[in-house]
Chains A and B, each alone.
Chain A
Amino acid sequence: MLDCGLDMTSTLNFLPLPLVQSPRLSKLPGWVLKDGSTFLDKELKECSGHVFVDSVPEFCLPETELLDLSTVDVILISNYHCMMALPYITEYTGFTGTVYATEPTVQIGRLLMEELVNSIERVPKAQSASMWKNKEVQRLLPAPLKDAVEVSMWRKCYTMPEVNAALSKIQLVGYSQKIELFGAVQVTPLSSGYALGSSNWIIQSHYEKVSYVSGSSLLTTHPQPMDQASLKNSDVLILTGLTQIPTANPDGMVGEFCSNLAMTVRNGGNVLVPCYPSGVIYDLLECLYQYIDSAGLSNVPFYFISPVANSSLEFSQIFAEWLCHNKQTKVYLPEPPFPHAELIQTNKLKHYPSIHGDFSNDFKQPCVVFTGHPSLRFGDVVHFMELWGKSSLNTVIFTEPDFSYLDALAPYQPLAMKCVYCPIDTRLNFIQVSKLLKEVQPLHVVCPEQYTQPPPTQSHRTDLMIDCQPPAMSYRRAEVLTLPYKRRYEKIEIMPDLADSLVPLEIKPGISLATVSAVLHTKDNKHVLQLPPKPPQPPASKKRKRVSDDVPECKSLKPLLSGSIPVDQFVQTLEKHGFSDVKVEDTAKGHIVLLQEAETLIQLEEDSTHIICDNDEPLRVKLRDLVLKFLQKF
């Protein structure tokens, strides 16, 4: 199984979870059906024309109905965003296999999960809405609730014990480490350049190579650059996790981010940056590190609020081996690879586990706050939206591309604060994809259906799709795709003593052959050929055996024969071996050799020989061996 991500856009249908009682949210009117029935008004609330579920947010899981997950042997994780559904899979489906991921992926993935669990568990919600999920009821709801898929499969967040159990099933791997799976295939993670420890995977046998390219970046940010060379010679390249915002240039967005931030603060407003606790935030902090002095922001406090803020900042400094070259060189000095260490030391950046406690004492405005969750449905960000939403001096800047910012803001409307959308998505865009495909030249490309056509909203942009030869094969949810590859060969090992016993025969110039009769040992999908055991010597004192004991036990295979038998030489050979009454008759296709006394005849034709005799076994065996002398064995 390649990755197991969690669709969190489902949470956009829910009301935000406020950390402190929010009078605004609690006063929202219940939703009333067109016919005036009010049976759903406890579950659904209306805000500025949108309807939200008033319940603990739920997530949309990967498809688990199609196949029995207990038959999955291995899960390969490509980056920490793509493992958020892991506890659902490992704890509730009978899955007993191994999960492979790099160390940074696991550590940061743990942080993301911890933050998620924490921000949902700390605001216990008495109500759990389920009536709206009824198919009959859902039909009556306004969009987008009406069109939400598989709502019955949506699940509440997992718990920390489940996270820990799931993570304990992960086997840590390093880039370019070859991992044997059951002796049948080898998997290898490669740097994908997108995030700390993010990987593409190569799945290969001796003759077939499938590359799984997911969430890759060719831009130079903090992670190790993408390893493209190792993707060459793929039979199939599965391509996914491209940029969600193909029209936005990440560098330009960072510039816009900085200038909007500076403008707001200069005007006395606060800036809110909804973000994940790891990833782009490192790059943003690094940009700000270079920017704040020149922009006159040295006295503005930067706050990073998350239950895992400290861990995230600390962890980022210890993965030297997974960083880009520049950052590695710093570690050799030895200095911390990320400048946020200095921001913290000089007190410009402060981090807190939550808005409660120390933060409330230190809090000074105007300021810049980085906090989660980017969906604006839970986490400390909800508090700041409620706090700052009413003033047009403040700005919320969206940098994470996973959620539509308009949908994210919907339950906060009407809103006075400024909203700026600067999505920073460093993953491959379509120009980079075609460059990459030209470079690595896979035989076949496989990708999700939506990459094979322009985005629905920009149907004229034919440049916003994958263009390659032969055309990419596409897949969609719940569809089985057969890869166009036929396996022909596998590796087998010949033991040295068997190899010594082989007698090669040059059959054509440059081509030799040897017939091999050997014992095949197959263990862990590795095949080895050994010398066949010598036939056991019959015991000296032979007891009378039952007839059936003599039945040849296994069919011992005889080689195929080839060649033809020249009749003159054959007759000479017969005479040499004491057959004196040999007579030859010509037939349409060859000859008939008669041994008159023995009442035996041998039909010789171009590609066949037929020995017809009485039941005289020694004679037959003698003739057989004489014939075989003229033929080649295969």
Chain B
Amino acid sequence: MPEIKVTPLGAGQDVGRSCILVSIAGKNVMLDCGMHMGYNDDRRFPDFSYITQNGRLTDFLDCVIISHFHLDHCGALPYFSEMVGYDGPIYMTHPTKAICPILLEDYRKITVDKKGETNFFTSQMIKDCMKKVVAVHLHQTVQVDEELEIKAYYAGHVLGAAMFQIKVGCESVVYTGDYNMTPDRHLGAAWIDKCRPDLLISESTYATTIRDSKRCRERDFLKKVHETVERGGKVLIPVFALGRAQELCILLETFWERMNLKAPIYFSTGLTEKANHYYKLFITWTNQKIRKTFVQRNMFEFKHIKAFDRAFADNPGPMVVFATPGMLHAGQSLQIFRKWAGNEKNMVIMPGYCVQGTVGHKILSGQRKLEMEGRQMLEVKMQVEYMSFSAHADAKGIMQLIRQAEPRNVLLVHGEAKKMEFLKQKIEQEFHVSCFMPANGETTTILTNPCIPVDISLGLLKRETAIGPLPDAKKPKLMHGTLLMKDNSFRLVSPEQALKELGLAEHQLRFTCRVHIQDPRKEHETVLRVYNHLKGILKDYSVQHLPDGSITVESILIQATAHSEDQGTKVLLVSWTYQDEELGSYLTSLLKKGLPQSTP
């Protein structure tokens, strides 16, 4: 029985270093190649040695697919392709291809230049790795090889994020990457057609959450920022350079404009300007409203938001600062946090999910005394707020996607085990499909039951669809054909054609039955009575009385002769071929019962 095998190397009952191996109909595909924000040792990358013990990765993997540019989905890519060694194709969308190398370079700089790590990938490796990338359009069917095809669907989440369908023959898998089922201020909602995959691999970050309406969250966010600024406090919003940052910038920009606020808003790192450029150039990937109005007013040209300088952090008075990275695990956001943490007037708003082990995660779980590098203790007095702005589908969204795609099985990744367990039960109850949640390194096997495609001769197909007095589209039709199997080619043809092709003659099997009837009348009168009798019963059949005195029912022939000894008995010869067996047999038994009493 054909099967699909799935093994997460990362993101199995966990969030971080997404990396999932899929084997489908003899093809091996790696989905995402991410790093883990919570680790700084070997565990930050997936364990690629699992894939093959001593063979080359290029020989084993048919392709690698990257769903979006977040580092937990692509951060290990240069390590994987250049240091472990992979030369096959890597697929991602155009915006991902554009932005991914910048984030990788950023990541490399923090790791190597700031933390002083050696044995990490180099800038050149990032460039070499990106040369192996093939950019794909949305909905384009990419033929990886003769059998394997992939197709990208819009996933929302961040600019260029995509879900991918992987298809071999009539078996298919859909991998969602990270997605968002509700449109936000800059991106649209994820969408997929009813493609009925054998397996849907879905993220489940918010497996148990059902978020309140976006509007409420936005109002809450603005209120908190506004209040803090009003009382002279500073607001720190740790973000990743691309994604939520743009959404929140649009939000604050319009709010500042409307309320005529004067407190400065800053955006840290040089990436901002560039990031906004990407949004301008890839505006076709944003939501409907922004696309429609971009000629008149480009939403990514901000008036109130200015570039941040390190020195500004010590300026007196209120301000709002967007700083990277988003989980407070390193870089500028962490520096500013350390500066402002001691003042209760200030506020830090975490707009997204924080991985375990990061400072962001610690303060969100209520820790107020943090041990920083060099055993320094940091007391957190500033207000800590969490607002889920990260663009992941919530439980409702995940269910909605399952309803859209109608998969035969579901597999959850990119979430916490406990929450997954809950969602798994819900999915199995509601959709009556199997749902899996393998841990890292654990293989899930799904049996598929693919149909077998064969070639049918048009002659046979048309004959079968035309049969019957009134073709009824809804009524299933019984068809009979011969399947010829020759070197892997399967052809369904009419029996006649099969005989002809094989050079065989048909063997005719014919039956002739003598049926005795008591009828003193003349032969031709008997025949007429038989004719009328049959005509009356066999309404759906063609019954004919031929000039030579015989009767046909379809291709069955009935002739009458007088009995040689008994003139009062007539002998009916009913003759039919094996193909008319049913009708012939029926006719003889019908005639054997005799003719009805004649009515004058």
Contacts and interface: CB of A to CB of B under 8 A. Distances in A.
A520 interface: yes
B452 A615 contact: no
Interface stretch (A241-249, A298-306, A482-490): A482-490
A563 B495 contact: no
Contacts of B505: 562, 606-607
Given A311-B295, A513-B482, A609 B508 contact: yes
Interface stretch (A65-73, A275-283, A316-324, A420-428): A316-324
B486 interface: yes
Interface stretch (A137-145, A175-183, A462-470): A175-183
B566 interface: no
Contacts of B295: 310-311, 314-315
A11 to B, nearest CB: 28
Q: Which among A318, A556, A608, A620 has the greatest number of chain B C-beta atoms within 10 A?
A: A318
Nearest to A506: B485
A614 B465 contact: no
Interface stretch (B199-207, B389-397, B407-415, B456-464): B456-464
Contacts of A634: 482, 495, 498-499
A416 interface: no
A153 interface: no
B277 A334 contact: yes
Kindly state the interface size class of chain B when it binds its partner.
35 or more
B456 A555 contact: no
A498 B578 CA distance: 25
B487 interface: yes
Contacts of B465: 520, 522
B478 A552 contact: no
A529 B586 CA distance: 29
B581 A510 contact: no
A20 to B, nearest CB: 28
Given A493-B453, A615-B513, A519 B294 contact: no
Contact of B476 (A321, A516, A521, A560): A521
Contacts of A564: 507
Contacts of B97: 332
A615 B473 CA distance: 40
A491 B455 contact: yes
Interface string A260-297: 00000000000000000000000000000000000000
Contacts of A517: 478-480
Contacts of B457: 488-489
B368 interface: no
Contact of B282 (A320, A522, A532, A627): A320
A459 B483 CA distance: 57
Nearest to A186: B141
B168 to A, nearest CB: 15
B502 A558 contact: no
A508 B502 CA distance: 8
A527 interface: yes
Interface string B495-506: 110110010111
Contact of A336 (B281, B515, B585): B281
Kindly state the interface size class of chain A when it binds its partner.
35 or more
B585 to A, nearest CB: 7
A174 interface: yes
Contacts of A479: none
Given A491-B456, A520-B465, A331 B495 contact: no
B449 interface: yes
B139 interface: yes
Contacts of A336: 281
A608 B508 CA distance: 4
A1 interface: no
Contacts of B499: 560, 562, 634
Nearest to A336: B281
Nearest to B491: A489
Nearest to A493: B451
B140 interface: yes
Interface string A327-342: 0100110111100000
B278 interface: yes
A328 B522 CA distance: 95
A615 B454 contact: no
By secondary structure, the B interface counts as: mixed
Interface string A560-587: 1111100000000000000000000000
A561 B511 CA distance: 14
Nearest to A330: B281
Given A532-B478, A557-B480, A564-B507, A512 B579 contact: no
Contact of B510 (A175, A310, A610): A610
B282 A496 contact: no
Nearest to A631: B507
Interface stretch (A80-88, A377-385, A543-551): A543-551
A515 B139 contact: no
B92 interface: no
A174 B230 CA distance: 49
Given A515-B480, A520-B479, A557-B478, A620 B579 contact: no
Given A557-B480, A560-B579, A615-B588, A175 B461 contact: no
Contact of A608 (B478, B510, B554): B510
A491 B461 CA distance: 10
B479 A529 contact: yes
Given A321-B135, A499-B452, A176 B140 contact: yes
Nearest to B477: A520
Contacts of B455: 206-207, 489-492
A494 B479 contact: no
Nearest to B464: A520
Contacts of B539: 548
B307 interface: no
A94 interface: no
Given A334-B278, A554-B478, A620 B511 contact: yes
A302 B589 CA distance: 98
B552 interface: no
B283 interface: yes
Contact of A519 (B101, B450, B477, B483): B477
A552 B586 contact: yes
A562 B497 CA distance: 13
B492 interface: yes
Contact of A318 (B142, B282, B509, B589): B282
Contact of B456 (A337, A492, A519): A492
**What 3 A-B pairs are tightest by C-beta distance, nearest first?**
A634-B495, A493-B451, A560-B495
24 contacts: A174-B137, A175-B137, A314-B295, A317-B280, A487-B458, A489-B456, A491-B454, A491-B455, A492-B492, A507-B502, A513-B483, A513-B498, A514-B485, A516-B479, A548-B539, A554-B478, A555-B582, A558-B578, A560-B506, A606-B505, A611-B512, A612-B512, A617-B588, A634-B499
Given A328-B135, A528-B451, A610-B511, 19 more contacts: A174-B139, A320-B281, A492-B455, A492-B456, A511-B484, A516-B492, A527-B456, A530-B476, A532-B478, A547-B537, A551-B540, A555-B554, A559-B495, A560-B495, A562-B507, A610-B509, A614-B514, A617-B588, A634-B498
